Amino acid sequence: MKNVSTSYFGFKAINTLLLTALISLSLNTHSRADIYRYEDDEGIVHFTDAPTDKRFKIFMRDLKKDKELRTKLKFAGSLNPAEYEQIIRACAVKYGVNAHLIKAVIHAESGYNPNAVSSKGASGLMQLMPGTAKSLKVANRFNPKDNVEGGVKYLRFLLDTFRGDVSLALAAYNAGLSKVARYGGIPPYNETRTYVNRVLSYMQTYQSSGI
C-alpha cells in the first residue's frame, strides 16, 4: 500500500472494516498522520493525509498526535481543532499568514469554539467584533469559514502595518490598532501583554508539534 501522503485511492466497492484495517496497517508502517476521505460523483472514494480539496473530511485521526496536542494545549474534549484544518490552510495560503499563527490566535481567542461570544461582543473562532466583521465583509461571524477568513485577512493587514512584527500585530488584534500606535508598541495593559505571550507560546507549541 502506497503512502497516503503521496497518492489518492479510489474504491468502488470495498468492505469498510477491511478498508479501515488497511489504512491502520499503513499508519503503523509509515509516518503517522490524520487520514481524510471524500466520495466523488462516480462513487469512488479518495483518501489522503494531505488534503487539498474542501470536500475531504476527517476519516481517521492520528490518536497519538491528537492526544499529545490536547495535553499540551488543553483542548476541551468536545472540541475538534482538526475540523477547521482545511479552512486554516486555505486562508494561510490565500493571505500569506503562517498557519501556526492562525491556529494560535484561534486557540487563544475562542479555544476552537465557533459559537464563543465574549463579554464585549466579539464572537466566533477568531472573536471578531461587529464593526470589524462589517468592515471585513464577514456576513456571519458564527460561520467558521467566514470568521476565519475575516480574522486572517485582518491579521494580514496588521502584519503589513507593522512590517511583519508579529508581537505588535497581535497586540493590535487584542487592544486595537490605535492603542498600539498611541504607545508606540505593545500597550501597558496586563491583558494585552498576557495575550501576546500566550499566542506566541501557542504558536511555538504548534510548530514544535508539527501540526
Percent of all residues in the chain with a pLDDT value above 90, rounded to a whole number: 55
Q: Which CATH architecture has domain 70-209?
A: Orthogonal Bundle (1.10)
Q: What is the pLDDT of residue 177?
A: 94
pLDDT for res 210 = 73
Helix (H) or strand (E) holding 18: helix 16-29
Rounded Cα distance between 74 and 13, Å, is: 40
Side chain identity at 55, as an amino acid letter?
Answer: R
Q: 58 forms bridges with which residues in the sheet?
A: 36
- Of 139, 140, 173, 168, nearest to 154 by C-alpha is 173
- Judged against a pLDDT cut of 50, whether residue 10 lies above it is answered with no
Over residues 111-151, the pLDDT tens digits come to 899 999 998 899 999 999 999 999 999 999 999 999 999 99
Q: Where are the domains of the chain?
A: 1-60, 70-209
Cell numbers that stand for 51 in this block: 488534503
Work out the end-to-end distance of the chain between its first and last CA atoms, rounded to an integer number of angstroms.
24
> pLDDT per residue over 14-63, tens digit each?
444 444 444 444 444 444 455 656 677 776 766 666 656 666 665 544 44
> Which amino acid is present at 28?
N
Q: Which three cell numbers stand for residue 12?
A: 468502488
Q: Is residue 52 within 8 Å of residue 7, measured between CB atoms? A: no
Annotate 124-160 with DSSP letters as a single string. TTTTB-HHHHHHTT-S-TTSHHHHHHHHHHHHHHHHH
Phi and psi, residue 153, nearest 5°: -60, -40
Q: How far apart are CA 133 and CA 167, in angstroms?
A: 22
Residue 211: pLDDT over 80: no
* Contact call for residues 191 and 174 (beta carbons, < 8 A): yes
Catalytic residues, by residue number, are 109
Is the pLDDT higher at 183 or at 26?
183
pLDDT band at 86 (very low <50, low <70, confident <90, very high): very high
Across 55-78, average pLDDT: 52
Greater confidence, 96 or 18?
96
Cα 101 to chain center, whole Å?
Answer: 9
Q: Residue 201: helix, strand or coil by DSSP?
A: helix
pLDDT of residue 82: 83
Does the pLDDT at position 203 exceed 70? yes
User: What is the predicted pLDDT for the residue at 38?
Assistant: 64
